Structure 1
């Protein structure tokens, strides 16, 4: 009888221990998932994507100026994505550099909506290869002209599958409605960007900058085309800010070297 009571007590104690530990077993996977979702790697690269006709060397002067402004010389890695998906690298990322610049250019640099779509896919190839190599899980990005469209398409179409967080996006003179002059006409690309805007990262902070050479645009991209970014990003991302830069070097081609924009990149993107 005593042996039966002892055996019974043992199972009661074991059962009580199990019940006490059960909440921990249930809570632990949720805790691990929370940590994975919120962990930020030390390295957080800044991706730079040029517009049509520009190569991966487009931002050499900009990076030099940014390094001068910040007082810290960050690495510059340039990647050219070939039409067959292979990658060509120039430059390096220092092992101790947690904020390197990575410029992604394309062998096919032609303009046009179809090629912009292709470039977004090519950017995805480069992004996944770089993420595998450098093990970052968050980043910021800047795109000039069609480069802003490439980054927006990538964030709508492919970013979620990479499980990498986008912190900030800055678009400079991005023609969200291409070069359409009539504000009453929507291009198919603009419709596509609007249709998929709900896929944009909810914690993303976006800055859209327009240049003002004339009262209607920067000499190439109409104001209305840049301003349409609000219909894509507003109420879809954490914050959306739109700015206009005027004065010297406010024409389309010179905007990345515009001193006001260099300061804006330094202040908001870095």
Structure 2
């Protein structure tokens, strides 16, 4: 074997080793990440507020949920997505909390279908960062008012990009047909949601809650508009339930802290193991 051949073989061998070391390191790191993902116990409740509301919208709801919760209380992490793409955080997730509450708010919190689509894109940006950071493999969702519309837009356009299971979703006072009081007059948004309903996970348990003060509305959203959610979710999601709450606290802005609504969140959104602890 000539000296030139030896040198060539040595260079090739060193090159192969150079490729193998980072490849091994990447594979080992990737396996660890996959293992953490599939064994993750973290199952957050991700909440989205309605138009004009901020990431502080659910402070009262979380306070009431924690009042009835034994053991580890729900952490509260607030996320804000700015118009320039920045994502900022306020709060922390405690290391021993497997069911934290994460609220995603927006600088652009205005009404209208065009803004709802923009907000769904903002949710996607925040969700991607949160999932990468906390490595959860499932979550539950809650949206108040237009927050339920943002959730629906996010589910239909972006959720399938993730290997993450949306177990349960509750929307509260969500105007699926805006201010229309007849399902015969479908808005462009409702028509789009119905057209894309096949993207909704068939394993999803969906709960829609309406408030009534005047028998047909919560003084802002018509009951018929809330009920229009059935045309999107019913017979597509595994489970779809509509519930109506009444009384003095059934006004639209009061719904997130309405005691009946808090009880429904405890019963239908939170993990069953937490409910069992409360009953025990």
Matching residue of 1:66: 65
Contact residue 145 and residue 171 of structure 1 kept, 8 A: yes
Contact residue 248 and residue 258 of structure 1 kept, 8 A: no
Aligned equivalents of 1:267, 1:216: Cα separation in 2: 25
Aligned equivalents of 1:204, 1:140: Cα separation in 2: 10
Contact residue 40 and residue 138 of structure 1 kept, 8 A: no
* Change in CA separation of 1:191 and 1:40 when aligned onto 2, cut-off 3 Å: farther
Q: Give runs of aligned pairs for residues 216-227 of structure 1, distance below 5 A.
A: 216-227=216-227
Structure 2 residue ranges without an equivalent (≥5): 1-33, 271-280
2:102 aligned with 1:102: yes
Matching residue of 2:15: none
Aligned equivalents of 2:183, 2:154: Cα separation in 1: 25
Matching residue of 1:174: 174
Aligned residues: CA RMSD: 1.5
The size of the alignment, in residue pairs, is 235
Aligned equivalents of 2:58, 2:73: Cα separation in 1: 15
Aligned equivalents of 2:39, 2:193: Cα separation in 1: 28
Aligned equivalents of 2:228, 2:234: Cα separation in 1: 10
Secondary structure of the structure 1 residue equivalent to 2:46: strand
Q: Which has the larger radius of gyration?
A: 1
Contact residue 202 and residue 237 of structure 1 kept, 8 A: yes
Aligned equivalents of 2:207, 2:39: Cα separation in 1: 22
Aligned equivalents of 2:40, 2:178: Cα separation in 1: 36
Secondary structure of the structure 1 residue equivalent to 2:118: helix
* Change in CA separation of 1:204 and 1:183 when aligned onto 2, cut-off 3 Å: closer
Matching residue of 1:141: 141
Cα distance, 1:40 vs. partner?
Answer: 6.1
Q: Deviations over 1:86-130 (max 9, x none)?
A: 101100001121100000000011111110111011001000100
Cα distance, 1:69 vs. partner?
Answer: 1.2
Matching residue of 1:47: 46
Matching residue of 2:160: 160
Contact residue 70 and residue 266 of structure 1 kept, 8 A: no
Contact residue 183 and residue 228 of structure 2 kept, 8 A: no
Aligned equivalents of 1:192, 1:162: Cα separation in 2: 22
2:248 aligned with 1:245: no
**Deviant stretches of 4+, over 4 Å:** none
Matching residue of 1:27: none
Cα distance, 1:258 vs. partner?
Answer: 0.3
What's the TM-score, normalizing by structure 2? 0.81
Matching residue of 2:259: 259
Cα distance, 1:144 vs. partner?
Answer: 0.2
Aligned equivalents of 1:93, 1:74: Cα separation in 2: 8
Contact residue 145 and residue 174 of structure 1 kept, 8 A: yes
Q: Deviations over 1:43-64 (max 9, x none)?
A: 0000011000000011111101
Secondary structure of the structure 2 residue equivalent to 1:220: coil
Contact residue 219 and residue 251 of structure 2 kept, 8 A: yes
Matching residue of 2:87: 87
Cα distance, 1:268 vs. partner?
Answer: 0.7
